[in-house]
Chain A
Amino acid sequence: MGAPLIGASVQRKEDYRFLTGAGQYTDDVTLANQSHAAFVRSPHAHAKILKISSEKAKKSPGVVAVFTGDDLAAAKVGGLPCGWLITDVNGQPMKEPPHPCLAQGKARYVGDHVAVVIADTLQQARDAAELVEVDYEVLPAVADAVKALAKGAPQLHDIAPGNCCYVWALGDKGAVDAAFAKAAHVTKLDFINNRLIPNAMEPRAAIGQYSRADESYTLYVSNQNPHVERLLMTAFVLGLPEHKVRVVAGDVGGGFGSKIYLYAEDVVVTWAAKQVNRPVKWTADRSESYLSDAHGRDHHTVAELAMDKDGKFLALRVKTTANMGAYLSTFASAIPTILYATLLAGQYTTPVIHVEVTAVFTNTAPVDAYRGAGRPEATYVVERLVETAAREMKIDPAELRRKNFIRQFPYQTPVALLYDIGNYDATLDAAVKMADVSGFASRKKASEAKGRLRGLGYACYIEACGIAPSAVAGSLGARAGLFEAGEVRVHPTGSVTVFTGSHSHGQGHETTFAQVVADRLGMPIENVDIVHGDTSKILFGMGTYGSRSIAVGGTAIVKALDKVIAKGKKIAAHLLEAAEADVVYDKGVYKVAGTDKQKMFGEVAFAAYVPHNYPHDKLEPGLNENAFYDPSNFTFPAGSYVCEVEVDKETGRVTIEKWVAVDDFGKIINPMIVAGQVHGGIAQGIGQALTEACHYDASGQLVTGSFMDYCIPRADDLPNFEVDTRETPCTHNPLGVKGCGEAGAIGAPAALMNAITDALGVKDMPMPATPLAVWTAMKNRKAA
């Protein structure tokens, strides 16, 4: 064995296929005799469906079938379920309106699925979809969550009066009110966390296939959690036996949360495949992605921080209105509650916190988890407040943070979480040094000499990752477990295939997980392959989201590896005629302690499959173990970001001059991959703060429906990133890992907006800080 594999920047095993065009994304799959689906979508944000005439479409060349909501209802196809039940402040369950896969009676957002046309070719399906005539009675629509709560607002669902899904609260309101009453200073902000459209580069796609021979279905789908997709679809929507459905999520071109969910198209192509007795393929074009992928964020929040005269935090009060869109997507209800409110302590000792969240239905696409999912919104609240408080109290923003850092662990927050470990001084101190904060004043002067404004901003974020302890999630309303599964299959000649319920769609699990396996077994990484994304191969899995893969999925693999090693020890003891207790495993070799007797791992594996000399009385042949792992706590990655910007006074254009990120992800397996995750996360966070704004007009039309109107960052919008890590190993998993996938998107928006408001000398301004928004803020400030 060469250098240690844990902590090594091993180049990725998956790269060769992606670099040579050999990846197999869902749209790259072509099945014999496949047909193509095109969806008829509502052009109206809110409309009664009076009549659908599909006669012309059915006669169009190549058309195989046209289905509407009535067909699905007649076939008893259920609606899409929500996986998380929130109980409101009155102890009542949230309002869960039906979420039909094809609209029934009413369309509730632009892009809502109204009918599907299936034809021999994609062009024939699209041509015929144009011929489906839908009589709509257009209704007034509302896209803004605050407006949807107002009296007289258009009503979306009969079962949700006032468009309210739930009002939910966490924390001790009385204690918070009392603390505010004696505060020396209160900082208050009223802001919007802008709605975002995820935009994974690979659009969603799904191919349904049915076999009459054994009454089985296969769904190829661009998805982050194939087992969850199968469970939801079979148990809640189609009522199919789970063992008759295989879900394959092969190569997936990015997800960022948007491919966690069970979507209407996935159900429709699966169901329709049996009806037409042919495979049915659908691939979103980008316009459909904009309209119908689950969006992210969209909060309106009023937040107040109470402090004593020295800047010690006394209490935090937060009131948030969260837009759910027209229907509840798979995890929608959990995002602005469980994954948001519980993070509002941040890195600080704020003793009491109260948060109230009102979730609202509007005539917009469903809103669900998008990279960070609740945690970016929480960090934005806390870190914008803290920075603003520092300016108001004329305390250095880094100092104010240090004054309030949590330093004793484990730490029980007033919002339900128990932080196991962290060192917030370490990341902040490192970031301050790397960013040369002490030289900022002279750089600011230099900028001023050029007629430009310069600002500096911090964000010290925390996130809860590695979800979850299933029992905790269950007590909070989760309708699913949140463990992970792994299987280690040792082949007779000693190489290893590992099956994981985690899913990789850019994160590089095939490499990182292989490093873990090869390190633990003491074998070359070339002898290890990682398999994911196919319910027919993997025993079970909850999939990849919430930065949970290495902490939960990786640990499940470690548990299975330890079982393999333990069984191998028994076999080795037999082969070596030694007591099992005397056998130790060291870097691929079973040794009898204190002797020179040993067996290589490969020899033991061979004996397990060619058991001529084998302890049959004690052991089964074979070397194949699996494990399920349900963590005892969340993990708590945290870090400090420092951002420095320049603003052009003439144009309002912001340029990022410096970006420093120091993260604590616990133990790191592959620093190269981790840095890449941080870069990508920061880029999406910068996108939120600088360029990305999902905008619906007053009638509910999406006016930012393409890459030309909705600006995801391009290469020349972004700087180089200086990233580093500090390490406090997680205390409750064997690898000491915490997860790194979302950190950048969580910490970046607050750091950037803190820098921009510093440069402009304004208390607040809305995201995204486009040149127009910045220019307007400067103009208003002059006028004031």
Chain B
Amino acid sequence: MAVKVSLKVNGKAVSAEVEERTLLVTVIRENLRLTGTHVGCDTAQCGACTVSMNGKAIKSCSILAMQAEGADIMTIEGVAKPDGTLHPMQAAFKEHHGLQCGFCTPGMVINAIDFAKSHPNPSELEIRDALEGNLCRCTGYHNIVKAIGAGARAMAGR
């Protein structure tokens, strides 16, 4: 059975006809063709599919599209300003070489932005703890940790 799902994605009202079993990440990637949200595993471990739902970072592989009915979603495509200027967290990742292959990056950035809202000046330990649900195989996290610290402080205007 197909069902209709309506949500707001990156500020735009959208809807899609999907099977009930369809995951939110599938709607984002396949129906809306927003391919910046990635799928890196099938056990909710890697965090590459992280999006912001109603202001909170969630793993879009772990929720049915139907459960997101009416939600306000932000994907990586909606993070930079409309004129293309990078968000302070994105800029910090670039500045500190916090990405290599780029596959985990969208999930990292979305999670980091959510984390930074409650941690305007995080310690290294707090950042490493906050990355428990986001895997990276390229960077050894060293520069991601630096980037998130700098991004959080930039967001807080420090």
Q: A residues within 8 Å of B by Cβ? A: 11-12, 14-25, 27-28, 30, 123, 199-203, 251-254, 256, 285-287, 505-508, 672-673, 675-676, 679-684, 706-708, 712-716, 718, 720-721, 744
Contacts and interface: CB of A to CB of B under 8 A. Distances in A.
Nearest to A508: B100
Given A676-B143, A679-B140, A21 B45 contact: no
B75 to A, nearest CB: 7
Contacts of A22: 36, 77
A23 B36 contact: yes
A322 B76 CA distance: 44
A21 B137 contact: no
Contacts of A684: 137, 140
Nearest to A670: B97
A760 B19 CA distance: 56
A716 B128 contact: yes
Given A201-B103, A506-B101, A679-B142, A19 B124 contact: no
A21 B86 contact: no
Contacts of A507: 100
A21 B100 contact: no
A21 B36 contact: yes
19 contacts: A12-B94, A30-B33, A123-B19, A200-B101, A200-B103, A201-B38, A201-B48, A202-B101, A253-B103, A254-B137, A254-B138, A285-B42, A506-B138, A673-B97, A675-B97, A680-B138, A715-B127, A715-B144, A715-B145
Contact of B139 (A27, A676, A707): A676
Closest 7 CB pairs of A and B: A21-B36, A18-B102, A253-B103, A683-B140, A506-B101, A506-B100, A707-B45
Determine which residue in B34, B142, B143 has the highest number of CB atoms from chain A within 10 A of its CB, and name it: B142
Given A200-B101, A683-B141, A707 B35 contact: no
A734 to B, nearest CB: 26
Interface string B88-109: 0010011101011111111001
Contacts of A23: 36, 102-103
B137 A256 contact: yes
Contacts of A505: 101
A55 B30 CA distance: 29
B23 to A, nearest CB: 11
Contacts of B76: 19-21
B34 A21 contact: yes
B132 interface: yes
A714 B104 contact: no
Interface in B65-87: 75-77, 79-80, 84, 86
Contacts, number: 178
B153 to A, nearest CB: 18
A287 B43 CA distance: 9
B94 A19 contact: yes
Contact of B45 (A252, A706, A715, A744): A706
Determine which residue in B94, B134, B140 has the highest number of CB atoms from chain A within 10 A of its CB, and name it: B140
Contacts of A254: 100-101, 103, 137-138
B135 A201 contact: yes
B46 interface: yes
B101 to A, nearest CB: 3
Given A25-B38, A716-B128, A721-B142, A20 B77 contact: yes
Contacts of A713: 140-141
Given A23-B103, A254-B101, 17 more contacts: A20-B77, A20-B90, A21-B36, A21-B77, A200-B103, A201-B46, A201-B135, A253-B101, A254-B138, A286-B41, A286-B43, A506-B102, A708-B43, A713-B140, A715-B144, A716-B128, A720-B145
A715 B104 contact: no
A286 B35 contact: no
A707 B102 CA distance: 19
Given A256-B137, A715-B128, A672 B35 contact: no
Contacts of B43: 286, 706-708
B19 to A, nearest CB: 7
Interface residues of B, number: 57
Main secondary structure of the interface of A (DSSP, over half): loop
Contacts of A506: 100-102, 138
B139 A286 contact: no
A202 B90 contact: no
Interface in B28-55: 29-30, 33-43, 45-46, 48
A655 B127 CA distance: 17
A305 to B, nearest CB: 31
A715 B38 contact: no
A744 B137 CA distance: 13
Determine which residue in B21, B40, B104, B144 has the highest number of CB atoms from chain A within 10 A of its CB, and name it: B40
Nearest to B77: A21
Given A22-B36, A716-B129, A707 B99 contact: no
B20 to A, nearest CB: 11
B35 A21 contact: yes
Contacts of A287: 42
A371 to B, nearest CB: 10
B144 to A, nearest CB: 7
Nearest to A706: B43
Given A28-B35, A676-B97, A716-B128, A14 B102 contact: yes
Interface in B104-129: 104-106, 109, 124, 127-129
Contact of A201 (B86, B137, B145): B137
Contacts of B150: none
A740 to B, nearest CB: 13
A15 B93 contact: yes
Contact of B99 (A19, A286, A715, A721): A19
Nearest to A723: B142
A27 B138 contact: no
A684 B48 CA distance: 19
A201 B101 contact: yes
A206 to B, nearest CB: 16
A720 B131 contact: no
Contacts of A715: 127-129, 131-132, 134, 136, 141, 144-145
B35 to A, nearest CB: 4
A25 B132 CA distance: 25
B157 to A, nearest CB: 21
Given A286-B43, A680-B140, A718-B142, A201 B94 contact: no
B139 A680 contact: yes
A683 B139 contact: yes
A21 B37 contact: yes
Nearest to B95: A11
Nearest to B142: A679
B105 A18 contact: yes
Contacts of B124: 720
B141 A708 contact: no
A21 B109 CA distance: 11
B91 to A, nearest CB: 8
A123 B43 CA distance: 18
Given A14-B102, A507-B100, A21 B75 contact: yes
A37 to B, nearest CB: 16
A19 B86 contact: yes
Nearest to B132: A714
A676 to B, nearest CB: 5
A707 B135 contact: yes
Contacts of B131: 714-716
B147 to A, nearest CB: 10
Nearest to A676: B97
Contact of B40 (A202, A673, A681, A716): A202
Nearest to A677: B100
Contacts of B75: 21
A253 B106 CA distance: 12
Contact of A714 (B21, B37, B135, B142): B135
Given A19-B90, A21-B77, A707-B45, A718 B36 contact: no
Nearest to A686: B140
B78 to A, nearest CB: 9
Given A202-B38, A679-B142, A712 B135 contact: yes
